[in-house]
């Protein structure tokens, strides 16, 4: 059983000011650690967003190139069809 001494401290324990200081320091350390974790988490999320934006831009460029290639092939097929039609008409003459 603990009893209070004349100076306000408990026998076998820290004085209340020292105990408060210790608990407050622990609280501040935990807060600082939580802030560091939050900063690291935020940085990680920012990097994920940046990676996804880069991936999106790459996919967008690839899609645009595919559309352009498709357009070129469509023009080429139309030209071939027209040439074939002209050659067939020349054979039938």
How far are the Cα atoms of 21, 29, 33 from residue 26, in angstroms, in the given order? 9, 5, 10
Residue positions counted in the chain: 93
pTM score: 0.58
In a domain, 29, yes or no: yes
In a domain, 28, yes or no: yes
Torsion of CA 33, 35, 41, 47, to 10 degrees: -120
In a domain, 4, yes or no: no
In a domain, 6, yes or no: no
In a domain, 1, yes or no: no
Please give the span between the terminal C-alpha atoms of the chain, in angstroms, as a whole number.
121
* Domain extent at residue 58: 14-93
pLDDT average per 10 residues of sequence, the chain (93 residues): 48 77 95 98 98 98 97 97 94 81
The count of structural domains within the chain is 1
Cα(32)–Cα(6) distance, integer angstroms: 36
């Amino acid at each position: 059983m603990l009893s209070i001494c004349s100076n306000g401290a408990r026998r076998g324990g820290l004085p209340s000011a020292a105990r408060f200081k210790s608990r407050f320091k622990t609280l501040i350390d935990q807060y600082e650690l939580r802030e560091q974790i939050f900063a690291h988490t935020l940085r990680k999320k920012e990097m994920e967003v940046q990676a996804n934006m880069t991936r999106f831009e790459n996919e967008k460029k690839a899609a645009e190139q595919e559309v352009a290639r498709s357009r070129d092939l469509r023009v080429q097929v139309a030209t071939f069809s027209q040439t074939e039609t002209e050659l067939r008409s020349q054979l039938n003459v």
